Structure formats: C-alpha cells, structure tokens
Amino acid sequence: MTTPLVDQQRFLSPAPRVRLEKAFDTPFKNVVATARTCYSGKGIVSDDVVQLEMFPESRDTQIVRGIYEAGHHTTFQHAQFQFTLDNVSRHFLWSFLHQHPFYNSEQVSQRYVTVKPGMVAVPPMEGAALELYTATVEYQHASYKELIALLGEPAAAAYYRRFPYRAKYPEKYAKDVRKKAQEIARYVLPVGTFAYLYHTISGLTLLRYWRLSEIFDTPLEQRIVIGEMVREMLRHDPNYRIVLEDPIALEETPEYRLFMEYHGTATPSGAFADRFDAGLLGYTSRLVDYKVNAEAVLAESVREVLGLLPEQMSDDDAIELALNPAQNTILGQNLTLTTHAKITRALHHPHYTFRRKLSHTADSQDQRHRMTPASRPILAAQLSDDPDFITPEIITHSGAVHAKYVEVMERSWEAVSRLKRMGVSSEFAHYLLPNAVSVRFTESSDLLNLHHKHKMRLCYNAQEEIWRASVDEARQVREVHPRIGRWLLPPCSVRNLAGTRPICPEGERFCGEKVWKIDLSRYERII
C-alpha cells in the first residue's frame, strides 16, 4: 500500500481536518469472526479468539485474505467508522463522497447557515493565476452578501403573500425572510466553498474509497481527504493493511482514457448541452422510460403477498391498497416502514427513468436520496466556455437582482476560462464554478423509493429546484400510470389521508400553504 499524502501537491487553503469519532473496538477481527461464524458448528465466533497481529501467517490471516480476494465482502460491512470532516469542498462532496448509496452524512446547510468569507478551497497555483482565483472568490462572496440584501424585498413580498398574518410583525419574521434570501443568494458562491460534516461508512466502503480515490472530478482533494481517513482507520486498527490495495491511477481509469480520447485538452463545444436541453422539452425532469405494465405487475404482486386471485381483488383495489394512505396507513408513519412492510415491498417492481437538469447546489441535495441512483457526469465533459447556469425563479422577479446575478455568472465563467488559458487544469479551475452551474444526468428509481422521495420533496419547504423536478415527475407518472401517479403526494397529503396528526410534520417550519387541499395540477411557488 502507498502511504497516503507522501510527495503530493497540497491545497493553499487550510488543510482538511479528518477525525475518526467512533468505530468498532476491533473492526478487523470482527471481519474474521463473522466469516468463521458462517462455518461454525459451535455457535457464534467472537472477536477475542481471532489471531492476527501475533500470527501474521495464521489461519485467520489466510481466511481474511481468501475471502477478500474471492469477493466475499459482506463480512467487511459490519464494522462502521464515523468521521468528522472539515475544510472539504462541496465540489468534492458532490463528485465523490455522496455519489453512491453506502454512507450517511449530516453536513452544514448553505440554505440555513450564512457562509463566511474565506471558507473556500484554494488549489495549488501561483502568480497571476492565484491572484485571479483569489480575486474572483472575493468577488463571488461580496456578490453573495449583496444579493442577500437585494433579495430582501422580493423575498419578503413572496413570504408575506404566503403568510399574510405575519406581515403585521415584520421584526419577528425578519430572520425567516433573510434565510429565504440567503437560500437563493448561495447560487453565486463557488462550488469550492468549504463544508463540515459527519460521515459514517463501513470498512468496506472506505476500502473502495481509497481504491478509487484518484478518479474524476477532484482527484487531488480525494487523495488528501481519503488518505487521511485511511490513516485514521489504520491508527485505530493496523490489521486493515492485510487487504488494503493501492489506488487505481487516474490514467488507468476508463473514464480518463475515454475523456482524453474524445475531448483531450480541448473545452467541449456546448453541442452536448444543447442537445440534452432540447430533449428535456421544457421540463426540469423529463420521464424518458418506464415499465409499460407497471400497474398490472404492481396489482398482481400485491395479490401474491395476500394469496388472492383477480376475482377476489381487482387491479384497481390492489393498487389502492398499496398506495392509498387511507387504506395502507403504514404510509403515514413517522418512520419510513415501506421497505420492511410486505405489501409496500411490491412497490419495488414499477420503475421510472428521468432525464434531469439541476444546479450543482440542488443536485448536491438531490443525490442524498441514495436509493434513486443517477449517472452523474464528469463535469469537464459537459461544460463549454459559455456561462451555463440555473436561475431560481425569484431572481427573475427583480430587474436589479437579475442583472447582478447574470453579471456574477458571466464574470465567474470568464475567470474559469482565463485560468484554463493560463494553463490551470480544469480540475482546479472548476472550484470557481458557481453553485448555479448546470448538471445534466439521468436518474432512475423504483416506485417505492420514488414515492418516498416525492413524499419529502413535494413539500413546499423542499429546495425549490428539486421541488420543481419532483412536480414534473409526479405529473408525468400520473399521465402514463394514473392509478399510481395519483398517490405521489407530499407528506402533509399522505398524513392527512392516513389520519396521522398533526397533518404537517414540520411544526414551526410549516410552509404556510395547506398543500393537502391543493391538487398537484395547481402546485406553484416562488420561494
């Protein structure tokens, strides 16, 4: 294994802080103990009988090497490692740390927490390039503060339209209005802005992280952060060296080979983005594929659970039993129980695929729905030198705000382009891209997990872009599968039908609209 961080480039900004907060006492011995238990005729094998450190060629060492090399990796999933990460970029989180389903993270929110100056990754560069990078970051942050102020009036107007009673007490609700303005202003911040978070993964996931730590889009930051995570793991349990492999070099990955073959060092022309956008037909998220017989298969699978014939339960009744919260009150529980309950597991069979275009900041939240996987891009393969960004609706409601917003976008793109002309790699130049930068990808989901996602994201408190994408999706599913689509609803509507009280689960965060009384066809919002 290559020792992490030896002779590597370093960022000029404060180094990432990586700390192992909690872990199994003897995680690697647990790998062996769980493996031996599978073949034990004497019951459970405990960690304390496993021999590794004192006997490097012991039977237990041979066992763990054998199961690792054979691909029998479930035993490596039992041990969990909880890390705290600080001074890591949101670009790294989007591109690497949150691009898979096998993790849990709790990170600081840019929607609700004001971003402080200077909290941005600065890649290794010097001279005029460093001056340009630094000046652009300062400009983006100053624009963030300016936009918070400029958005105060339109945000207040939209807020008090939703909460007319609160308009009588503007001092009391000034903080709420500011957060709405801040939520939109964050679109001009660079994707290199720092975040801090808790991140919990299994030992197996960390082994995978290290093996793939040099892939696109942020290989240097990945090597540094994941290298520190590996160091922390090895300090806690050095036995992981028995199976730890070196990272696959970026140049050896198929993504790198194909990127260089088709793009080389040239910047894409924008033809891909134009074709993709035309194919959206005006949607934020367009339904492009689905199982034609989804309703019939869903109905039959519900009957199978109950051992019934079609004469005993019709397709309509079976679908309603699975999806109508008034009949299936499991759907209205505070805990998400649908993966465990027998009838709702039938929702795994219908399947939908959407083509989507979101901002980097919205997709960073969207990807947290780990069971609706997507094929997200190598960002450098999609972006031309022309500004390519998402504009939140409220930005367009004020000429001054919109003009400032476009100015920031144009200046940010010009800085990125100039850096690349100076010889700065796309990897480093792209840390300057604003949160608003467009991300184009395809996402798929079975109905069970799409239902859960829509239950969260059709809420008027959800991030606006993801809400709009979810509205698009729910409406299109309703068109092709009306008996299914009618039950894709926000949490308040589900709870109301299930008889769960209070109807809105958000408490003081109530959005201000009785959405459970509004049909999906009439959903609209500005903030």
Closest C-alpha to 98, from 225, 9, 220, 186: 225
The whole-number pLDDT of residue 59 equals 86
State the pTM of this model. 0.95
Residue 189 neighbours by CB under 8 Å, 6+ apart: 110, 115, 140, 141, 144, 434, 435
CATH of the domain at 65: 3.30.1360.170
Distance between CA 50 and CA 31 in Å, rounded? Answer: 10
Residue with tokens 């100056």: 117
The whole-number pLDDT of residue 9 equals 85
Name residues of the chain where pLDDT drops below 70: 1-8, 53-56
Residue with tokens 């970029």: 89
The whole-number pLDDT of residue 8 equals 64
Torsion, CA 423, CA 425, CA 428, CA 431, rounded to 10: 100
The whole-number pLDDT of residue 349 equals 98
Residue 18 neighbours by CB under 8 Å, 6+ apart: 83, 84, 85, 86, 225, 228, 229, 231, 232
The whole-number pLDDT of residue 7 equals 43
78 part of a folded domain: yes
Distance between CA 188 and CA 121 in Å, rounded? Answer: 15
Determine the angle formed by the axes of helices 294-306 and 315-323, rounding to 10 degrees. 80
Burial class (CB in 10 A: 0-12, 13-18, 19+), 191: buried
Alpha helical stretches, state H, 307-352? 315-323
Closest C-alpha to 429, from 33, 133, 172: 133
376 part of a folded domain: no
Distance between CA 124 and CA 218 in Å, rounded? Answer: 13
Q: Collapsing DSSP states into helix, strand and coil, what is residue 56?
A: coil
The whole-number pLDDT of residue 5 equals 45
Distance between CA 260 and CA 143 in Å, rounded? Answer: 36
28 part of a folded domain: yes
Cβ-contact 76, 207 below 8 angstroms: yes
Cβ-contact 348, 446 below 8 angstroms: yes
Closest C-alpha to 445, from 376, 336, 369, 351: 351
340 part of a folded domain: no
Distance between CA 49 and CA 61 in Å, rounded? Answer: 13
Q: How far apart are the first and last CA of the chain?
A: 50
Distance between CA 240 and CA 135 in Å, rounded? Answer: 44
The tally of domains found in the chain comes to: 1
Q: Detail the DSSP E strand segments found in 254-365.
A: 285-290, 351-359
23 part of a folded domain: yes
3-state secondary structure 74-132: HHHHCCEEEEEEEEEEHHHHHHHHCCCCCCEEEECCCCCCCCCCCCECCCCCCHHHHHH
463 part of a folded domain: no
The whole-number pLDDT of residue 26 equals 96
Domain that holds residue 220: 17-108+194-249
Cβ-contact 398, 150 below 8 angstroms: yes
Distance between CA 422 and CA 525 in Å, rounded? Answer: 43
433 part of a folded domain: no
21 part of a folded domain: yes
Instruction: Tell me the residue length of the chain.
Output: 527
| Predicted confidence (pLDDT) per residue in 147-174, tens digit | 999 999 999 999 999 999 999 999 999 9
The whole-number pLDDT of residue 399 equals 96
Q: Detail the DSSP E strand segments found in 299-371.
A: 351-359
